[in-house]
Amino acid sequence: RLAETVAVYEGLLAIQPQPLADTYYQLGMAYLTLGRLDEADAVLRTGLDHYPFQRELYLALADTAQAAGDPLAADGWYARLLQQRPDDAYAWGRRGELAMQHGRVQEAVAHLEQATAFAPAAVEYWLSLASAAASDADTARAVVAYERAMALRPDDAGVHLAAAHFFAHTGQTIQARAAYERVLMNVFQILNYLR
């Protein structure tokens, strides 16, 4: 029912003397979902002009730029958000992912290290950092990141399997064996639970 959502928020923009930040955000996201990217960009930018400290507007503009196939613009929106909120782990993580997608591995590592510093319990940032470090041939940093991810999710077979593949690929047979054994132990626990 996105068409109805658009109509409601367009109506609110027309009648509110000072539209709320959420009005701009919701309308922008509805346009984005419908693929009306120019309209999404325009309304979100207008919202940001009125509410320059609204985090969600920066993130929505980054999503819009990504949908338009402009990763540099998306990165720019994350960078602008980080000027206001330097401790925003999500923005650092997204910058790291964008850098990795475009082969800027060292930049990705730097951004993902910031993400892990500001959200040390977020496993996804540690796994992304491990992958970026491995791509940069920084085995020591990748090991630390995988170990941290495994410690945070001791029962997550996927985390241990990713680490096991890395350890095996880099000739660290003892660590690889331990990680594979943990995967098998998790699988056996699941099978026993299902019986």
* 3-class secondary-structure state, position 111: helix
pLDDT tens, residue by residue, 18-30: 999 999 999 999 9
pLDDT tens, residue by residue, 129-173: 999 999 999 999 999 999 999 999 998 989 999 999 999 999 999
Give the residue, 12 or 190, on which the prediction is more confident: 12
Q: Note whether 183 and 157 are within 8 A (CB).
A: yes
pLDDT tens, residue by residue, 41-90: 999 999 999 999 999 999 999 999 999 999 999 999 999 999 999 999 99
Structure-token match 């951004």, residue found: 111
What single-letter DSSP state applies at residue 87?
A: T
Structure tokens at 144: 């630390």
Q: Exposed, middle or buried by CB within 10 Å (0-12, 13-18, 19+), for 171?
A: exposed
Q: What is the radius of gyration, based on Cα positions, of the chain?
A: 21
pTM for the full predicted model? 0.88
pLDDT tens, residue by residue, 79-130: 999 999 999 999 999 999 999 999 999 999 999 999 999 999 999 999 999 9
Q: Note whether 41 and 29 are within 8 A (CB).
A: no
